[in-house]
Chain A
Amino acid sequence: MQKAHNLKEYREELHETLDNDFLRTTLDNFAIAYRAGRANAFKGMDVRGLIQEIADSKDAAAQNADALYKEFKANAEAAGVHVHFAKDGDEANRIITKIAKDADCKKIVKSKSMTAEETLLNHDLEDAGIEVTETDLGEWIIQLRHEGPSHMVMPAIHLSRFQVGDLFTEVTGKKQDTEIEKLVKVARRELRQKYVEADMGISGANFAIAETGGIGIVTNEGNARLVTTLPRVHVALMGIDKLLPNLRDALRILKVLPRNATGQQLTSYVTWITGNNECLAAEDGKKEIHYVVLDNGRSELIKDPLFSQVNRCVRCGACANVCPVYRLVGGHKMGHIYIGAIGLILTYFFHGKDKAKNLVQNCINCEACKDVCAGGIDLPRLIKEIHARIQDEDGHPLPSFLLGKVMRNRKLFHTLLRTAKWGQKPVAEKDGFIRHLPMIFSKEHSFRALPTIAETPFRDWWKENRPEVENPKYRVALFSGCVQDFVYPEQMQAAVDVFAANGVAMEFPEKQSCCGLPVQMMGETKASRDVAAQNLRAFEPDAYDYIVTLCASCAAHLKHNYPKLVMDKPSLKLRADAFSAKIIDYSSFVNDVLKVEAKDFTQSGEKATYHAPCHLCRGLDVHEAPRQLIEKSGMEYVECAEEEVCCGFGGTFSMKFPELSAELLKKKLDNVEATGADTLLTDCPGCIMQLRGGLKRRGSKVQVKHVAEVMSKHKK
């Protein structure tokens, strides 16, 4: 659970987990195994299509939630089940405690329910003098340790067999082994007698099916079947987000849920319960069944035009499985009760701003979660939006506020950059790095060297050197982004060189500014809108075939976010749509549009490896183009492990969480060096800054270049 009061305390908590080697190794191994397992489980299936279907059906269910609830209730009641509605967690707990009292239940067995975690049900039941036993192995372990779950699907992933062995020794009063097989068998025996004694079973539900009034429960251990069979009373607690019109929709989700959760084709058990089934322990031979349907803010969420998509979550936990930040800091630090990307969001809605305000800043915006989500939820966007909302409510921190102010004024911003060039003179080295970090950075930032501002920004070079292209094949506008304009103009120049040689006429609209992603990342929504409007006015989309940018982050932001940012301004919106349709990244343009060929480049055969920028591979779904270009440029492309995992830059993220950025970078560079290549290519200046700075600090010989640079260098 999240306890930190401010960012400083939160960062201290993060340090604790960073130092936990066991947890780090477990999460690392899991992340790697998970990716392979998931890919295998989905082999040959149209995953995108399936996820889209789920998104559509869940959206429709959300719009219809009231009607679905009525139908579900009517059918369930006709089949002998009592149905209750609880508007918040307290009410749900009250209802369940009363059911227990009325039916004279003293002992309860529970199968896993995140919803019950959300309402902290066990506390209330225990306060009422009832004994509650979690039967899911992971849940039981953390219950015995008085902890919260650290993962939705594997709640005890943070614990080692030794810790579990000690715990079981304590519980049984007998010395226990640390062999996992045996520990599991001990739990089996210990829990079996709990089922026997219990008068009431509590479960969650993965599906609440309106057409039958029944529920579906997905488990691997089989405890849900015992919990719903042995005791004479059964209570199922579920959020209204579990309502579905029909069985077909449930079966469809079932195709994705286990595959996404653990890479299994299906869990061991899926249990479908409809009506008050037989119970030989009850006087009349019928089980007393209650469904408690919980709102707790969900119906408000459904009405929100942006956040309604949260309802699509099927709680598969995949967004945590792929999150590079979760992988570093472990569950308890990446959500209050629900964890991972969705955890950051649900924490805000279910547990409040205070619990969420530090957590939401801990997203690097790598989009790995969005890419994997079973409901196709745009998680990173929602996380950023919450960050912005909290800042709007609580006031903006000074640095973020100032950055917003500066960015909204292009001239001021560019003047500042030009001035910085003079300011850095005393500390600038000849090799393009700053000798030691400026005062504003603490020691924690020294994991990477920082580049100097270039002598001549690209925009000045362009005025003198813009090439004339006769009989052009294409007309394009260049969007440089601030880093390439002021720090790495040579990357732009390299692109201009290859473009001109391939019959591309170019414009560089001078009024363009930073793309605005950094301010958006800091939660400065207003500034990010203003910057977008400025850039949109600077470009005349109809005049070009394409708008090319060499920065993956700019490209994804311009393409996907601009139309959303100006949504409320109809005239700009049209322009933004046209603009966004013309945006293309360097590699796709050169490989797929210009279709350059290997024969145009000197074949050097040098080994080069690649880092895939998050905003290129996931943001724009570009995977093959840069790799093909590397080979065409005459180099030998050697694949790097975890090539599509974030390098830890994340713009302002690396400023706020240098320790996490450093760890992500370390992993990335270890993988890069393991390839044995001397050159590391990528296509985002932000990544280049991070990767070069890190390699420089390591004293590595590996050279980092933008793909554009080798294309230009090797051009015949």
Chain B
Amino acid sequence: MPSKEDLYQLFVEKAELVSAKVTTIAHEDDALKYVINLCGEKEACQLLVSGCEADLSDKAEALCETKQKKVIAAPGLNADLYKKLAAQAKKAGFECIDKGMRDHLAGVDIGFTYAEYGIADTGTLMLDCPSEELRLATMVSEFHVCVLPKSKIKANTYAVEKMMLTRMKKTPDYLAFITGASRTADIERVLALGVHGPLELHILILED
């Protein structure tokens, strides 16, 4: 059996290989700080990568304009943590939401979530998201920041099989393995990140 430390090392190595940004934190509060900082630093609309000046069809352009303020979406957080996050966000001038994702399909800046498990041999996060709000937060956000408790890192997918089955049997269920940011190599096989889902995946490993 590999030790907890080995699994952690392997997880970090593998996650970084698929361009996830991994940070280890000592306390949940550090995660909040991280999210607020990241939101502050990031360009108002990450799509500037393509340049909002990059011309879109009129319809796609219109969707762009529905977004006025930086938004952090954090459905699925426990109430206390959410309250803290919302307060800090407000101070920083960001909107913080835990529902109503469908009103934000043009994209939110940051989706903030908790993973249930980490899978070391591929650097994968396992997130169970039967709630649509949570699911959308991990998809329409430009950056996805996810907290993973260190003790929840398992060796491989077989080691999470039982846990998966327990969840799947409580139907309906919608469970995801997430490994790195959304990616495509469909044009000339050149890797490009963030095609439909997040452009960046940040993993915060919480010492516990």
Which residues of A come within 8 Å of B, CB atoms? 26, 29-30, 33, 78-80, 135-138, 141, 154-157, 159-161, 164, 171-177, 180-193, 195-196, 211-214, 220-223, 225-226, 228-230, 247-248, 251, 254-255, 262, 264-281, 286
In the assembly, what is the distance between CA of A195 and CA of B131, in Å? 18
Contact in complex: A222, B182 (CB < 8 Å): yes
Contact in complex: B50, A247 (CB < 8 Å): no
- B29 near A: Cβ within 8 Å? no
Pick from A138, A279, A281: contact of B186, CB under 8 Å: A138
Contact in complex: B179, A267 (CB < 8 Å): yes
Contact in complex: A159, B187 (CB < 8 Å): yes
Closest 7 pairs between A and B when the two form their complex, measured CB to CB: A174-B55, A275-B172, A185-B50, A222-B197, A275-B171, A138-B186, A79-B171
Please give, as numbers and ranges, the residues of chain A lying within 8 Å of B49 by CB-CB distance.
181-182, 185
Contact in complex: B139, A229 (CB < 8 Å): yes
In the assembly, what is the distance between CA of A195 and CA of B178, in Å? 21
Interface string of B158-191 (1 = CB under 8 A from A): 1001001100110111111111111111111110
CB distance from A282 to the nearest CB of B (A): 10
In the assembly, what is the distance between CA of A184 and CA of B175, in Å? 27
Given the contacts A164-B187, A175-B55, A277-B173, A247 and B194 also touching, CB distance less than 8 Å? no
In the assembly, what is the distance between CA of A175 and CA of B185, in Å? 23
Please give, as numbers and ranges, the residues of chain B lying within 8 Å of A29 by CB-CB distance.
189
- B60 near A: Cβ within 8 Å? yes
Contact in complex: A265, B14 (CB < 8 Å): yes
- B102 near A: Cβ within 8 Å? yes
Given the contacts A185-B49, A189-B64, A161 and B188 also touching, CB distance less than 8 Å? yes
Contact in complex: B183, A220 (CB < 8 Å): yes
- B122 near A: Cβ within 8 Å? yes
Contact in complex: A269, B197 (CB < 8 Å): yes
CB distance from B182 to the nearest CB of A (A): 4
Pick from B169, B173, B184: contact of A184, CB under 8 Å: B184
Contact in complex: B197, A190 (CB < 8 Å): no
Contact in complex: B172, A277 (CB < 8 Å): yes
In the assembly, what is the distance between CA of A181 and CA of B56, in Å? 15
CB distance from A635 to the nearest CB of B (A): 39
Given the contacts A135-B196, A193-B63, A225 and B139 also touching, CB distance less than 8 Å? yes
Given the contacts A188-B194, A222-B196, A271-B174, A180 and B132 also touching, CB distance less than 8 Å? no
- B87 near A: Cβ within 8 Å? no
CB distance from A95 to the nearest CB of B (A): 22
Contact in complex: B63, A220 (CB < 8 Å): no
Which residues of B come within 8 Å of A, CB atoms? 14, 17-18, 47, 49-51, 54-60, 62-64, 102, 105-107, 121-124, 130-133, 135-136, 139-140, 157-158, 161, 164-165, 168-169, 171-190, 192, 194-198
In the assembly, what is the distance between CA of A80 and CA of B102, in Å? 24
Contact in complex: A137, B189 (CB < 8 Å): no
CB distance from A227 to the nearest CB of B (A): 9
Contact in complex: A172, B60 (CB < 8 Å): yes
CB distance from B191 to the nearest CB of A (A): 9
Given the contacts A155-B186, A278-B172, A184 and B54 also touching, CB distance less than 8 Å? no
Contact in complex: B185, A225 (CB < 8 Å): no
CB distance from B197 to the nearest CB of A (A): 3
Contact in complex: B176, A271 (CB < 8 Å): yes
Known: A188-B47, A264-B18. 12 other contacts (CB 8 A): A137-B186, A138-B184, A154-B186, A172-B60, A195-B105, A212-B169, A222-B197, A247-B161, A265-B121, A269-B177, A274-B171, A277-B132
Please give, as numbers and ranges, the residues of chain B lying within 8 Å of A223 by CB-CB distance.
195-196
In the assembly, what is the distance between CA of A187 and CA of B186, in Å? 12
Given the contacts A189-B50, A229-B136, A184 and B165 also touching, CB distance less than 8 Å? no
In the assembly, what is the distance between CA of A248 and CA of B162, in Å? 9
Contact in complex: B186, A251 (CB < 8 Å): no
A-B contact pairs, 25 of them (CB 8 A): A154-B189, A180-B188, A184-B192, A185-B47, A185-B54, A185-B194, A188-B50, A189-B50, A191-B196, A212-B169, A220-B183, A222-B182, A222-B196, A225-B135, A229-B136, A247-B165, A247-B168, A251-B161, A265-B123, A268-B181, A272-B168, A272-B176, A274-B171, A274-B173, A278-B130
Contact in complex: A186, B50 (CB < 8 Å): yes
Counting chain B CB atoms within 10 Å of each CB, the highest count among A33, A135, A196, A265 belongs to A265
In the assembly, what is the distance between CA of A126 and CA of B25, in Å? 52
In the assembly, what is the distance between CA of A63 and CA of B131, in Å? 37
Contact in complex: A180, B187 (CB < 8 Å): yes
Contact in complex: A187, B190 (CB < 8 Å): no
Contact in complex: A229, B195 (CB < 8 Å): no
Considering the complex, give the chain B residue whose CB is closest to the CB of A285. B132
Contact in complex: A137, B63 (CB < 8 Å): no
Contact in complex: B184, A220 (CB < 8 Å): yes
Contact in complex: B184, A192 (CB < 8 Å): no
Please give, as numbers and ranges, the residues of chain A lying within 8 Å of B50 by CB-CB distance.
181-182, 185-186, 188-189
In the assembly, what is the distance between CA of A279 and CA of B132, in Å? 6
